[in-house]
Structure 1
Amino acid sequence: MQYKRLAYTSLAALDLSVDQLFDIGQTARDLNALDGVTGLLLFNGTHFLQWVEGAPETVDELMERLRRDQRHSAVEVRETQLANDRLFPDWSMKLVRVRSELIHAHDDVLQALPAGLPDSIRERIAGMVELISVEV
């Protein structure tokens, strides 16, 4: 089976509460487990970066739902690819809160990624963190 991998960024709603953030993470885990979607969701207080993987039509349907979700805006697909395996086979969705400063965000992300993740993917995800980080 081929899987579709997709990474996107978005801007969180200004009034997003901590409870809503945890609800997003829990709902993603529950629904993704049912849909066979796995991945990683990063949040730095203002922006999301999500990497999802699953059957191509399922990932496309998920993206349509995410584009309609009022808890974020400015959804921008950053990368898509087809692959024969999953990068996050054990994570229906892992929510990782990262600090907004780039240097700390990289550390937060790299510590959260699974140990067996290929270095090329680890570096690509860490590089994408720049898209949601703020230098201070």
Structure 2
Amino acid sequence: MSIKMMPYLILDGNGAEAVAFYVKALGAEVMALQTFGGMPQSPDQPVPDEAKDRVANAQLSIGGAEFMLSDNYPGMAYQLGDQVSVCIITNSKEDSEALFNALADEGTIHMAFQETFWSPGYGIVTDKFGVNFQISTEA
């Protein structure tokens, strides 16, 4: 199994400002940045205007170390102290799902493991110790 782990920061609508700050303060290189408005749209669930400019996902690199960040979606609960999760990325949907299921044991599932437009298998879970994980499979 190929596996990567990296920090994932969740912000409350100021993701673009945070990206610019980390570029200036830490010399971060922006490897990718997508807004909610730039994602494929579903007619059944249109993105509200107040979400379109929020960061859906940004990938940054600092001296070879990578981290990601996004804004929370408007209306989703946001509590200080929950801004960091651990993102685990594998190259196998089966491995990702096994990790997700293992972490979900006695934990809380926030997004069921499922196919998304960016990943063949992705889910969000808080383990029984209160640590937030995003499990993803490389496309």
- TM-score normalised over the length of structure 1: 0.37
Question: Which of the pair is proportionally richer in strand?
Answer: 2
In terms of fraction of residues, the more helix-rich structure is 1
Computing the radius of gyration from Cα coordinates, the structure with the larger value is 2
Q: Which has the higher contact order (CA 8 A, sep 6+)?
A: 1
Q: TM-score if structure 2 supplies the norm length?
A: 0.36
